[in-house]
Amino acid sequence: MLNGEKMLFSGMQATGRLTIGNYIGALRNWVTLSDEYTCLFSVVDEHSITVRQDPAELRSRARALLSLYIAAGLDPEKNIIYYQSHVSAHAELAWILNCYTYMGELQRMTQFKDKSAKHADNINAGLFTYPVLMAADILLYQTDVVPVGSDQLQHLELARDIAIRFNNVYGDVFTVPEPYVGKVGAKIQSLQDPLKKMSKSDENENASIYLTDDRDTVLRKFKRAVTDNEACVRYSEAQPGIRNLITIYSAVTGKTPEEVEKEFAGRGYGEFKLAVGEAVADTLAPIQKKQAELLADKAYLDGIIKTNAERAEHLAIKTLRKVQKKVGFPERPR
Ligand code: TRP
């Protein structure tokens, strides 16, 4: 049924529109890793409500994200692809782990500090304990590896600390997870300010390529990408815009930066930008098509959602029952 001995867990939030940065930096790596591990990929909708959401929009984005996982190449029979909110064990374990996490640890989380500053009118307790829910996601499945972006490493470190602390008191209950940080060089920058990371929430539409962008939009955004006056396609720190375009082109074509430099030696930026745009559009088109097909087939997608949540639950409940017993909750009479 599943692929490897070792367990892998990762998740994304269905807030904001995903960019090619999310695809190249995360989703595509998941597809590769899914051959090697037994994987759970969750749409972490419970995390999303730590910030106010429009309910209808959250629901439709969550469905779009779940279908995107599949469209990007994650097989829902070989992997477990599900909504966090469909497996109540996440919230139950999070409660217990809250009692094994210190205020001081959570106060040190840089994401909490950043988000509190950004949402000063809604610094809720969920935002504060967000990393504990994330620890529960991971520890529930006896996860060995967690692919995460560098911004989530601090949360993963906390999950490890909680697991170790719990194990020290109660014996070996949790597997202590390791981070999996993808290859370096796959960092995608803004097309309008190549010194900034490409973001889901940039106000400038032209800064990011969204996974939903159609071919014309992709070509237009690359055409407008900020470059320089060097007139030379070179992979150099001194040319961050061109360097970023080379990174993107390399990522979608599999060519090395040196090969790309050679391919475009003596050719103009206009030509290069068009080639990058076409390569990106060609990468996105089949994913968009598959996603649209999935979203159109309600019965099929609902079936996947239901069975995958059941498979996740089956695994989660084993850990949860063990933990409940360890901390002293009464046994359920059979
Ligand atoms: N916090 C992660 C993010 O915003 C998403 C997430 C939630 C996650 N639970 C997780 C990632 C468990 C990895 C493992 O990117």
Task: Give me the amino acid identity at 27.
Answer: L
**For 179-183, what is the mean pLDDT?**
81
Asked if 298 is an active-site residue, the reply is no
CA distance 196 to 30: 24
pLDDT tens per residue across span 245-259: 999 999 999 999 999
pLDDT tens per residue across span 318-330: 999 999 999 999 9
Q: Could you tell which of 84, 148, 197 is best to mutate to test the pocket of ligand 1, judged by most ligand atoms within 8 Å of the CB? A: 148
Active-site choice (200, 223, 325, 326): 200
- Clarify whether residues 261 and 310 are in a common domain: no
Q: What is the pLDDT of residue 200?
A: 85
The lowest-confidence range among 125-129, 182-186, 244-248 is: 182-186
Q: Residue 135: inside a domain, yes or no? A: yes
CA distance 163 to 160: 5
Q: Pinpoint the alpha helices (H) of 172-296.
A: 215-223, 240-253, 257-263, 269-296
Asked if 115 is an active-site residue, the reply is yes
Q: Residue 193: inside a domain, yes or no? A: no
- Supply the CATH number for residue 130's domain: 3.40.50.620
Q: Where do the DSSP E strands lie in 23-144? A: 38-43, 80-83
- Clarify whether residues 95 and 233 are in a common domain: no
Task: Report the share of the chain in percent with pLDDT over 70.
Answer: 98
- Clarify whether residues 285 and 313 are in a common domain: no
- Clarify whether residues 57 and 19 are in a common domain: yes
**Cα-to-centroid distance, 200 and ligand 1 (Å):** 16
- Clarify whether residues 113 and 18 are in a common domain: yes
- Clarify whether residues 67 and 179 are in a common domain: yes
- Residues 6+ positions from 277 with CB-CB distance below 8 Å: 218, 219, 221, 222, 223
**For 47-53, what is the mean pLDDT?**
96
Q: Residue 2: inside a domain, yes or no? A: no
> Is 137 touching ligand 1 by the criterion CB < 6 Å?
yes
Beta-bridge partner residues of 129 = none
Q: Could you tell which of 47, 51, 106 is best to mutate to test the pocket of ligand 1, judged by most ligand atoms within 8 Å of the CB? A: 47
**Cα-to-centroid distance, 25 and ligand 1 (Å):** 14
Q: Residue 232: inside a domain, yes or no? A: yes
Predicted TM-score (pTM) of this structure? 0.94
- Clarify whether residues 119 and 23 are in a common domain: yes
Residue 321, domain extent: 7-185+298-327
> Is 10 touching ligand 1 by the criterion CB < 6 Å?
yes
- Clarify whether residues 310 and 181 are in a common domain: yes
Q: What angle do CA 27, 32, 35 make, to 5 degrees?
A: 125
**For 44-64, what is the mean pLDDT?**
97
> Is 115 touching ligand 1 by the criterion CB < 6 Å?
no
Q: Whose CA is nearest to atom 2 of ligand 1?
A: 12
- Supply the CATH number for residue 252's domain: 1.10.240.10
- Clarify whether residues 124 and 209 are in a common domain: no
- Kindly report the number of other CB atoms within 10 A of residue 164's CB atom: 11
**Cα-to-centroid distance, 12 and ligand 1 (Å):** 6
- Clarify whether residues 213 and 308 are in a common domain: no
Q: Residue 192: inside a domain, yes or no? A: no
pLDDT band for position 187 (cuts 50, 70, 90):
confident
Q: Residue 126: inside a domain, yes or no? A: yes
> Is 143 touching ligand 1 by the criterion CB < 6 Å?
no
pLDDT tens per residue across span 68-100: 999 999 999 999 999 999 999 999 999 999 999
Q: What is the pLDDT of residue 185?
A: 46
CA distance 304 to 146: 23
Q: With beta carbons less than 8 A apart as the criterion, state whether 208 and 19 touch.
A: yes
pLDDT tens per residue across span 198-216: 988 889 999 999 999 999 9
Q: What is the pLDDT of residue 15?
A: 87
Task: Give me the amino acid identity at 124.
Answer: N
Surface-to-core class of residue 272, CB atoms within 10 Å of its CB (0-12 exposed, 13-18 middle, 19+ buried): buried
Q: What is the pLDDT of residue 2?
A: 62
- Clarify whether residues 62 and 78 are in a common domain: yes
Phi, psi of 290 (to 5 degrees): -65, -40
Q: What is the pLDDT of residue 183?
A: 63
Q: Residue 114: inside a domain, yes or no? A: yes
Q: Where do the DSSP E strands lie in 46-133? A: 80-83
Q: What angle do CA 328, 309, 321 make, to 5 degrees?
A: 10
pLDDT tens per residue across span 299-319: 999 999 999 999 999 999 999
- Clarify whether residues 138 and 287 are in a common domain: no
Domain count, the chain: 2
- Residues 6+ positions from 19 with CB-CB distance below 8 Å: 188, 198, 199, 200, 208, 209, 210, 211
**Cα-to-centroid distance, 320 and ligand 1 (Å):** 20
pLDDT tens per residue across span 7-37: 999 999 998 889 999 999 899 999 999 999 9
Task: Report the share of the chain in percent with pLDDT over 90.
Answer: 92
Surface-to-core class of residue 321, CB atoms within 10 Å of its CB (0-12 exposed, 13-18 middle, 19+ buried): middle
Q: Residue 219: inside a domain, yes or no? A: yes
Output 279 or 182, whichever has higher pLDDT. Answer: 279
Q: What is the pLDDT of residue 186?
A: 65
Asked if 306 is an active-site residue, the reply is no
Surface-to-core class of residue 255, CB atoms within 10 Å of its CB (0-12 exposed, 13-18 middle, 19+ buried): middle
Q: What is the pLDDT of residue 150?
A: 86
